[in-house]
Amino acid sequence: MSNPVQYTEDNIKSLDWKEHIRLRPGMYIGKLGDGSAPDDGIYILLKEVFDNAVDEYVMGFGKVIDVMINDREVTIRDYGRGIPLGKVVECVSRINTGAKYNDDVFQFSVGLNGVGTKAVNALSSYFVARSHREGQFVEARFTQGVLEAEDKGVCKSEENGTFISFSPDPEIFKAYKFREDHIERRLRFYSYLNAGLTLIFNGKKIVSEGGLLDLIADESEFEKIYEPFHYRDKMLEIAFTHTNRFSEDYYSFVNGQFTSDGGTHLSAFREGLLKAVNEYADGKFDGDDVREGILGAIAIRLKEPIFESQTKNKLGNTEIRSDLVANIKKVIVEMLHRNKPAADQLIDKIKDTQRLRKDLQDVKKLARERSKAVSIRVPQLKDCKQHFSKEKAAHEDTMIFITEGQSAAGSLVSCRDVTRQAIYTLKGKPLNVWDLKRDALYKNVELYNLMRSLNIEESVDALRYGNVILATDADVDGLHIRNLMITFFLRFFEPIVRDGFLKILETPLFRARNKKETIYCYSERERDVALEKLGRGAEVTRFKGLGEISPGEFKGFIGKEMRLTPVVVDEDHSIPEVLTFYMGKNTQERRSYIMDNLVVDEEIL
């Protein structure tokens, strides 16, 4: 072997705590992101600090937490016991230092490893920690984890508690922006889990007395089939109802921590629910029939939770499963017997789902036979060589472009990367499926072929592409097709949207050029800037459709510089409510809304 790489003592590096966190932030806060997704790193920083404030409330100290966010500056003030004054600097800057190791001080904390606040400190351009105790205070100020100053003194007018202020470091997070809706939703979860705790976010009060019952009632406001069941004791709380969705939707929590990826407690809830329903109804329902359309929440308290990562998204304590399943089953059976009208509605919903699923099997069989008679392969699909696997986390950069018409598809086919870019061509406007049942997907050839192409006929977990991209024209017809496709996914395959797989391809609206330079513009503002740069004599072309873009040009728009906009669900609105308005049969109401909010694009006139 020529020129081997030398591996000596000089290759070994030792990093201090802040250097390691800044070099490998993903180990501590997951993905960085830009603030557009609710699990982006800047929100994890906020959560790490906020968890400490909530832990004080759980232990019986301080009933109010103030949160202020001004642009990129975050301040959190709790009214708990305050960090012991002699340990303020160590608690926010020395790894594996804190009171969470002491069960007498914090019995049900999620901050068990002494890392969270230190990660916030290291990943912030500035970080301030101030503790108030019995009229005294200590304040420590840091820059990128480096202690700059420490003050102490008297503050007789201040209540006990801890004040933390920080700003995520743009060197780490680059361009980012806090979204108030993401933060408010996260704080609402804290209020559901801590009945009686008052949260004040930028002056707005958030409080819940009903716990998870409030959560499920709020989330199912427009959809619930029966009034939610609810149980709460010191160690366990559950709530659930059914909707007419085709998915299962859950919220799971451990010691006040939202475990977005579930874990042992969530799987125990699903199993306990199934066993309880079958015992109550003296039946043998399948899990899929019992759980389709369920909206459920579970929260447990655990002295020594084991999470699968620092971001604590999934609980791994397998030893608690059997006892938890038995307890949940017992609780749900008792609730069903105490509320027979709601229980009967639940059983009727399951029987209806069971009947529809059997009918659907016949429809599926006919659809499969029809597709085999036409072609072994899907005729509208130009596939790629690699395929995404959610289970193996493989080929996340693969993508399928869902486009309209042969012209646009032809340009894409000519310039795509055949290894990782597939194309599915729609034949005109797809079916509006908002008020249809699942059998409509199998009766409609185009939608059935799309399901086959994506490999989601049986489960969205089998999705074959890491990115599902809507590539439609930027005219009225193209936008209509885009909305129809978004409706298709939200109606029947909501997790694809919720998990960030569905995206929109942004292609330029204008091409501005002179004899020396060509600039592609994605908005009127970009066009104006380009014209100013190119000077007199520059010409502008407006692209009316994807088919007008030559393959040579298109290659640049689906390559390294490709612009993708994720389809994001506004968490403050019910999907059925929104889609009923925009895609339902209320034509006159919708027309009035459009006319009242019409913005004229002068370039089209």
The per-residue pLDDT for range 76-97, each reduced to its tens digit, is 999 999 999 998 998 888 875 5
pTM above 0.75, yes or no: no
Least confident span in 149-158, 448-457, 475-484, 572-581: 572-581
* pLDDT of 24: 85
What is the full DSSP assignment across 473-541? -SSHHHHHHHHHHHHHHHHH-HHHHHTT-EEEEE--SEEEE-SS-EEEESSHHHHHHHHHHH-TT-EEE
Question: How is residue 520 written in tokens?
Answer: 């592609």
Q: Which amino acid is at 529?
A: V
In 255-404, where do the E strands start and end? 257-258, 294-300, 381-382, 399-404
298 or 475, greater pLDDT? 298
Packed helices 445-454 and 340-374: angle between N→C axes, nearest 10 degrees? 90
What stretch(es) of the chain map to CATH 3.40.50.670?
375-507+545-596
* pLDDT of 174: 87
* pLDDT of 439: 87
Residue 100 pLDDT class (50, 70, 90 cuts): very low
% pLDDT > 70, the chain:
90
Residue 573 pLDDT class (50, 70, 90 cuts): low
* pLDDT of 96: 59
- Tell the CATH topology of 212-353: Ribosomal Protein S5; domain 2 (3.30.230)
Give dist(CA 383, CA 297) in Å, integer.
Answer: 39
Q: For strands 399-404 and 381-382, give the pairing.
A: unpaired
Alpha helices in 287-339 (DSSP H): 287-291, 321-338
Give strand pairing partners of 138: 131, 152
115 or 533, greater pLDDT? 533
* pLDDT of 114: 47
Q: Using CA of residue 146, residue 151, residue 157, residue 160, what is the dihedral sign?
A: positive
What stretch(es) of the chain map to CATH 3.30.230.10?
212-353
Give dist(CA 290, CA 216) in Å, integer.
Answer: 18
Give dist(CA 115, CA 95) in Å, integer.
Answer: 6
Give dist(CA 33, CA 523) in Å, integer.
Answer: 24
Distance of CA 340 to the CA centre of its chain: 36
- Residue with structure tokens 């475990």? 259
* pLDDT of 405: 78
Q: For strands 421-426 and 399-404, give the pairing.
A: parallel
Residue 599 pLDDT class (50, 70, 90 cuts): low
Residue 169 pLDDT more than 50?
yes
CB–CB of 350/336 below 8 Å?
no
Is it true that domain 17-206 has CATH number 3.40.50.360?
no
Residue 507 pLDDT class (50, 70, 90 cuts): confident
For 535, counting Cβ atoms within 10 Å of its Cβ (0-12 exposed, 13-18 middle, 19+ buried), the class is exposed
Q: Which amino acid is at 429?
A: K
Give strand pairing partners of 512: 519, 540
Q: Using CA of residue 183, residue 180, residue 495, residue 250, what is the dihedral sign?
A: positive
Give dist(CA 462, CA 455) in Å, integer.
Answer: 6
- The mean pLDDT of 456-485, rounded to a whole number, is 89
Give dist(CA 131, CA 145) in Å, integer.
Answer: 18
Strand order in the sheet with 518-521: 518-521, 510-513, 539-542
* 140 Ramachandran zone, left/alpha/beta (phi>0; psi -120 to 50): beta
Q: What does the chain come to in residues?
A: 605
521 or 374, greater pLDDT? 521
- The mean pLDDT of 502-510, rounded to a whole number, is 91
Phi, psi of 11 (to 5 degrees): -80, -15
CA distances from 216 to 63, 190, 345, 573 (A): 24, 14, 17, 14
Thinking of the domain 375-507+545-596, which architecture would CATH place it in? 3-Layer(aba) Sandwich (3.40)
What mean pLDDT, rounded, does the chain reach? 86
What is the full DSSP assignment across 168-207? E-HHHH-S----HHHHHHHHHHHHHHSTT-EEEETTEEE-
